[in-house]
Chain A
Amino acid sequence: MRTPQKIALLILVAVMLALPQFIADMPYIVNVLILAFYMTTMSMAWNLLGGMTGQNSIGHACFMGIGAYTSVLCVVKFGMNPWVSLVVAVVVTALITGLVFSQCFILRGPYFTLVTIAFAEAVRQVILNWDFAGKAIGVGLPYVRGNNWLLFSFRDKAIYYYVAFAMMVGVYLLMKRIDNSKLGFALKTIREDEDVAAAIGIRPLKYKVIAVVISASVSAVAGFFYAGYYRYIDPNIMLQSASVELVLPAIIGGSAFVEGPLVGGILMVSLSEYLRNTFGGILPGINLILYAVVLIVVIRFRPTGILGWLHGRRTRKEGKA
């Protein structure tokens, strides 16, 4: 990375860190930003499997849901400390997805995508019909007074803001590291061509399972955060629409780039909230229509996403020079 970019990045991070001090009396804005960080984290998790490995999942809300439910049920039913429940949630999610998807990766392309949809819906139905998990009513976390790090519950939204921001940055750094590692090269080679991967000594199945397990584990962490923030979850968090929604930031930002979900996530969540605020009152539903229009325009005219477009413009310019 060049020095001016580094400085710009540092300034951006500083602004993000200082921001809650200035908008503390605007809980709505803080909430939108927390949501944006959460969505971006989820989208980065998706992008490891979708963008980097080329295995498109439309079931990631379910990975997040398994994490959220495991953590909340451990806390509520077994009186576990939330931080311990986070570890349990990640392990459970990793095990389930590893076991299920190691059997499903013989399916390629759209067939794999269909399996992710079926898997997500199956898990949602199980929760919906399971007394222990609160059925359709869902489960809530117990009320905690004040700010309590040990029980992961805060009265100050600003703390959630920092936690979400740290989670997003941490996941970004993880993804960046993977991108430049042997694992990342294995995944990208598999995305481009599985026969080539095999010919140079990469076992496609092994690496696809690693990708789905990491992706699901990160989703589980995001699920833990989601539950800790909203203090209540129900099976609707695993709806198909939720899975689709968290794919969009990666696609809009540019799924070929580790930074894609970052750009897309911040942009799309802010845009969607802005539209809802400004137009939602004028005519109910118009904000969703406008959101869809923006989506269609980007996908139609810039299918490689915002970063793909900027990158292409830069390389073209360099080519001419």
Chain B
Amino acid sequence: MSVIIEVNGLTKSFRGLKAVSDVSFVTEEGAITGMIGPNGAGKSTTFNMICGFYPPTSGTIRYRGQDITGRRAYEFADMGIARTFQIMKPLGNLTVLDNVASSAFFGRHRAKDLRQAREIAAETLEFTGLYTKRDVLAREMGTPDQKRLEMARALATKPDMLFLDEVMAGLNPTETEDAIALIRRINNGGVTIFLIEHIMRAVVSLCEKVIVLHHGEKIAEGTPDQVMNDPIVMEVYLGTGSREDAAHVEN
């Protein structure tokens, strides 16, 4: 397998505060790579830097060997990179079908007229299980469907590489299972996936490789099993153990 995304020494400072510091990793073509970490660990910042929404303070991002650091967000769809947003951003006053049709006009499908764009959109909706809601206004849907719409819209740009930012947050267990199945289907279709997720069950069942961030630094990397059993990761997630707490009480 070849490397599709290579991140090297990625750093982002917001007025002296280091949100992400010297993070490096690679993702393999065709794989599902996950990124986890507590709130405020810098996951979304890393994500936004890779997708061109924030310029990194330092470090480089390579896509298929090509340096894409500093490329603007609107250039990514043409390169075959698509993303979803953690806070759903449906095009509220458009129908679900037209939300996705807009992606079909741009991205790499380049639909030549409305009919073709809507055909592509309809196919994408069928694939993501939203076809029956195609005529609903996007703002009138609930969270699970809006999360799905985020994925459908990204897919309709015909990406090779898909970045998913917490697409399962706020879903109940059944909906999570559906989302996991959908992500598998997307991946089986040949799309490389990089995802940020809090729901461990999803990460464990989907990802071949997991990267753990804490306070903006990469503290672990490996298979889900390796990462889960890493002492530093356990400390970050479960606290530093009872010895210190006891000491505090005595003082």
Contact = CB atoms under 8 A, between A and B. Distances in A.
Interface in A180-218: 180-182, 185-186, 188-189, 191-193, 195-204
For chain A, give the interface size range: 20 to 34
A256 interface: yes
Contacts of B156: 200
Contact of A200 (B72, B92, B94, B157): B157
Interface stretch (B62-70, B103-111, B192-200, B222-230): B103-111
Chain A interface SS verdict (over half): helix
A200 B156 CA distance: 9
Interface of B: 51-53, 72-78, 82-83, 85, 89-94, 98, 101-103, 105-107, 111, 113-114, 117, 153-154, 156-157
Which of B75, B92, B102 counts the most A-chain CB atoms under 10 A from its CB?
A: B102
A199 B154 contact: yes
Given A192-B90, A200-B103, 9 more contacts: A182-B105, A188-B98, A192-B92, A198-B52, A199-B82, A199-B85, A200-B82, A200-B106, A200-B153
A188 B94 contact: yes
Contacts of B51: 199
A2 B147 CA distance: 34
Given A192-B94, A200-B102, A185 B117 contact: yes
Interface in A160-194: 180-182, 185-186, 188-189, 191-193
10 contacts: A185-B102, A185-B105, A192-B93, A195-B53, A196-B91, A197-B74, A198-B73, A199-B73, A200-B157, A203-B72
A186 B75 CA distance: 15
Contacts of A197: 74
B145 to A, nearest CB: 16
A196 B106 contact: no
B76 A199 contact: yes
Contact of B114 (A181, A189, A200, A203): A181
Contact of B98 (A181, A185, A186): A185
Given A182-B105, A185-B98, A193 B89 contact: yes
A196 B73 CA distance: 10
A190 to B, nearest CB: 10
B106 A186 contact: yes
B149 to A, nearest CB: 11
